[in-house]
A and B are shown apart, each in its own frame.
Chain A
Amino acid sequence: MLEVSGLCVSYGSVEAVRDLSLKVAAGSVVSLIGPNGAGKTTTLNALSGVVPVHGGRIMLEGRDITRLSSHQRVAAGVVQVPEGRLVLAGMSVRENLELGAYCRPRQDIPADIARMEERFPVLGQRREGLAGSLSGGEQQMLAMARGLMAHPKLLLLDEPSLGLAPLVVKMIFDLVLELKSQGQTILLVEQNVFQSLAVSDYAYVIENGSIVLEGPAAKLAADPAVARAYLGQAGPSASAPITGR
């Protein structure tokens, strides 16, 4: 589905992503994990075409999309649910969903909205309410539903469980599993490393803008180096370097 090779992104003189390569097979869930500031969001934004790419190639289903603009990427099927949700707080829940389908044929939208309101009842109950009045967990559900409204071929999820209560976190990982069972291809960025690995087929570990480790998710979950870096030291503060692939 997705093949990234030699990706380089810099902000001014800061190289945020360096020679990064990864693959996401159709129908699989792939995790991209790593400490804060490693370049995970930058990688997703490069895939979405919202940060300029200085080198490398992005192929979607064999088609080179490296030079496509952000709205062309969405139309091509690369859809991101961003870190911090970024729901349009001043617009209604329904309008947020409608805008998720911005690149879709108009006649399909009402049926898709109905489907989302059935899957996420709270979005139906709060249809006319402002998205900004939803709780954090509800906003995350809205952001996910909004992303799904675009009928993504590849769904990019950036820290969907960040800052949410354990019950909501569980709902989100359940949703990821549900989508996976429906054949949805997902690239998942998470701080919740072990829960993330548990729902993934494959995983990459990124540090300082480069992939330092990769493998089947189950294998990485059992890897002492990953455990040392991410287990017990709880997420972001875990900066012990992982060396060797």
Chain B
Amino acid sequence: MNVLGQQLVNGLFIGGVYALFAVGYTLVFGVLDILNLAHAAVFTLGGLMALWLVQNAGLTIWTAFPLAVLFAGLLGLVLDQVAFKPLRRRPDTYFSGLISSIAMAIIFESLAMGVFGAHNSRFPAGTVPVVIWRLGGITITLLQVEILAAVVLMMVALTQLLKRARVGKAIRAVAENQHAARLLGINVDGIIAFTFFLSSALGGAAGILFGLYFDALSPDMGRPIELKGLAVIVLGGMGSVPGAILGGLAFGLSEVLTVAISGTSNLRDAVAFTLLFGIMLVRPSGLLGRGRLREA
């Protein structure tokens, strides 16, 4: 029973990181109806940048984290300007944007490989102090608590931003109808750029937390999470922020529960993706339906 409880707790943390990653995907999709397939590369570069800042620049993780998140956000601006904006007026913008984002992902990953090397690396020991609590046979670490706190904080901040802030309302207006948004005097290109910044900053943050949690970073660490992130936003409802959060948690929990119940990790991905199809059968538009970004 404690094994199960432990796995539930672990699933919560890894699910939180999936959710953070997927929220970035879904933000851009909700606003532009475009899949940004370079999101996983930004996730990787965010993690590696934080590592570099801690390892080579000698910063603490508390300083490195916001700086690396900012760096990831700036990568988002680059993505928008280079991969998406020039194609925005093309009739095939959805497809060409998809392809050019894959190209940017390859460029980002190659750069990461060149700068950081192809090997696995880890944060230096003591980056986050090792503190362990035992609650009725379930082990919780300080790192896990910090990860969950960071995820919750960012989700709440994002939700409030979309709901109440002037810029958040402008994002929702652009998501709903770009033409109408323009007629209201909203700088649509500016809002799109800001959305990419936000999305990529969240993706980068997910990369850092992922690297800390699994204590391993590499230029291809984004690969497995790329498809999971897509599955999560399909699961939650494309373009829905709460859906991505819910979907991320469901995905993380299903993974660890599969491992706990079957006793091996062989079936982990199979069950997680089967869950996706199962939910699609019952709720074709995802757990929370489409387009909730507009209603935030």
Residues of chain A touching chain B, judged by Cβ–Cβ distance below 8 Å, are 48-50, 69-71, 73-75, 79-80, 82, 86-91, 95, 98-100, 102-103, 106, 130, 146, 150
Note all chain A residues with C-beta closer than 8 A to B184: 74, 99-100, 102, 146, 150
Contact A82 B180 (CB under 8 A): yes
Given contacts A86-B177, A88-B177, A89-B176, contact A99 B170 (CB under 8 A): yes
Cα distance A87–B183 when bound, in Å? 11
From B172, B176, B182, B295, name the one whose CB has the most chain A CB atoms within 10 angstroms. Answer: B182
Q: CB-nearest residue of chain B relative to A104?
A: B185
Q: Which of A50, A69, A91 contacts B172 (CB 8 A)?
A: A91
Total cross-chain contacts (CB, 8 A): 72
Q: Which of A49, A88, A98, A130 contacts B180 (CB 8 A)?
A: A88
Chain A nearest CB from B255 CB (Å) reads: 33
Q: Mark B183-200, 1 if CB is under 8 A from A, else 0.
A: 111111000000000000
Note all chain A residues with C-beta closer than 8 A to B182: 48-50, 70-71
Interface of B is mostly: helix
Cα distance A50–B177 when bound, in Å? 13
Given contacts A71-B185, A74-B185, A103-B185, contact A86 B180 (CB under 8 A): yes
Note all chain B residues with C-beta closer than 8 A to A146: 184
Contact A50 B186 (CB under 8 A): no
Cα distance A48–B186 when bound, in Å? 12
Q: CB-nearest residue of chain B relative to A98?
A: B169
Chain B nearest CB from A131 CB (Å) reads: 10
Chain A nearest CB from B259 CB (Å) reads: 39
* Size category of the binding interface on chain B: 10 to 19
Contact B295 A71 (CB under 8 A): no
User: Considering the complex of A and B, which 7 residue pairs feature the smallest CB-CB distances, nearest first?
Assistant: A74-B185, A90-B294, A86-B180, A103-B185, A70-B182, A71-B187, A71-B185
B173 at interface by CB-CB < 8 Å: yes
Contact B173 A88 (CB under 8 A): yes
Contact B179 A102 (CB under 8 A): no
Given contacts A86-B177, A130-B295, contact A91 B169 (CB under 8 A): yes
Contact A102 B170 (CB under 8 A): yes
Cα distance A79–B185 when bound, in Å? 8
Cα distance A95–B172 when bound, in Å? 10
Chain A nearest CB from B241 CB (Å) reads: 13
Note all chain B residues with C-beta closer than 8 A to A75: 185
Contact A99 B183 (CB under 8 A): no
Chain A nearest CB from B190 CB (Å) reads: 8
Contact B172 A90 (CB under 8 A): yes
Contact B183 A69 (CB under 8 A): no
B291 at interface by CB-CB < 8 Å: yes
